[in-house]
Amino acid sequence: MATPAGLERWVQDELHSVLGLSERHVAQFLIGTAQRCTSAEEFVQRLRDTDTLDLSGPARDFALRLWNKVPRKAVVEKPARAAEREARALLEKNRSYRLLEDSEESSEETVSRAGSSLQKKRKKRKHLRKKREEEEEEEASEKKKKK
């Protein structure tokens, strides 16, 4: 039944055939109760608790068919709620990360590598200074020779 009116009409017809009663308000009550229930057994139990129907044989079958026909709202998660849930999951994931601890050997190797690279840079600078000094001396000697 695609329309609520069609569903209500079907419930009234079924109530008339099962119980000999076709009341609009009873049909609406049954449809509303079926929509609020999460399972067919919960629906049957609620009907038993309210003493609305004598749920034996055909009445129980009718209640189960009604629960299957009633449209239920699908749980739709709002975009803001979904974004918040994803952000919380990301924060939890980030909290689980820890820094890796280096062993003493690897940290000593790193220090020695850093020290050796500094020594290489200093050596290059010294060579550059020597080259500049030599070039300056050559230029000075050439100037003297030209004079």
pLDDT tens-place string over residues 74-108: 667 889 999 999 999 999 999 998 888 776 665 55
Flag whether pLDDT at 32 surpasses 60.
yes
**Using 50, 70 and 90 to split pLDDT, how confident is the model at 1?**
very low
Output the furthest CA–CA distance in the chain (Å, rounded).
Answer: 135
Task: Domain count for the chain, please give it.
Answer: 2
Please give the model's pTM, rounded to 2 decimal places: 0.48
The predicted-structure confidence for 57-76, as pLDDT tens digits, reads as follows 888 888 889 988 888 776 67
Task: List for the chain the helix, strand, coil content (%; round to 5).
Answer: 75, 0, 25
Look at residue 20 and tell me if it is in a domain. Answer: yes
Q: Given this model, what pLDDT does residue 105 score?
A: 60
Look at residue 29 and tell me if it is in a domain. Answer: yes
Look at residue 114 and tell me if it is in a domain. Answer: no
Look at residue 89 and tell me if it is in a domain. Answer: no
Beta-carbon contacts of 16 under 8 Å, excluding residues fewer than 6 positions away, are: 22
Tell me if 40 sits within 8 A of 72, measured CB to CB: no
Residue from 24, 71, 15, 5 nearest 47 by CA: 15
Look at residue 87 and tell me if it is in a domain. Answer: no
Spatial distance between the Cα atoms of 145 and 137, rounded to a whole number of angstroms:
12
Of 69, 87, 104, which closes a domain? 69
Domain that holds residue 32: 4-69
